[in-house]
Amino acid sequence: MIMKKIQKYYKGYSELNIILFIVFNVILLILINLSIRFLPFMGSLKNTVVKDMFEGHSIYYAFFMTNILIPLLETLIFQTLVIKGVFFLLKKKNTIKVITAITISAILFSINHLFSLLYLLLTFFIGLVLANVYIIMVKRRHYPTLITFLIHALYNTTLFFYGILIND
């Protein structure tokens, strides 16, 4: 029964406007970020490793890296490559393959962001959303890598400007 609901979920996006889909997922990622911040026992979300990486560089360099290059590379590796790899290895087309691909993609994505327990948890949920977006776009044949990258880049851009505004 759950498998049928999941299959119906992925087929239900055929009439969805792509711009609304992108906006919805960026808002979803922001809401996930805000909700995770209220778990004080998990550690800090302050990512001094990333801040230190851009120390001494211009804000334009930091913007390009965090909002264009890094999201593009992460999308290519953790969504495109991982999900296509899982689909290749699990030849049979079924819902278990989709769930496996989403889970592996999210786990690897979060391990790549291992700065604190809280950050790991946050990026796991972000990885679930991005992998889900990728698979939905594959099923719709609607530029899955590009759409996933755009959502990731817009989310990072939102956090980038938020960090500038609060001097984080």
Distance of alpha carbon 108 from alpha carbon 106, whole angstroms:
6
The model's pTM is 0.81
Distance of alpha carbon 23 from alpha carbon 93, whole angstroms:
30
Nearest in space to 65 (alpha carbons), one of 81, 54, 52, 76:
54
Per-residue pLDDT tens digits of the chain, which is 168 residues long = 555 655 555 555 544 577 778 888 888 888 887 777 666 555 555 555 556 666 777 888 888 988 899 999 999 999 999 999 998 898 776 888 889 999 999 999 999 888 778 888 889 999 999 999 999 889 888 889 999 999 999 999 988 887 777 765
Angle 106-38-127 from CA coordinates, rounded to 5°: 10
Can you tell me which residue has the tokens 């979300």?
45
| pLDDT of amino acid 39 | 62
Provide the CB-side half-sphere exposure for 163 (13 A, CA).
Answer: 18
Nearest in space to 136 (alpha carbons), one of 164, 101, 112, 89:
101
What are 142's two structure tokens?
A: 């609607």
Nearest in space to 43 (alpha carbons), one of 124, 116, 120:
116
Distance of alpha carbon 136 from alpha carbon 6, whole angstroms:
11
Could you give the dihedral angle defined by the CA atoms of residues 75, 77, 79 and 85, in that order, rounded to the nearest 10 degrees? 160
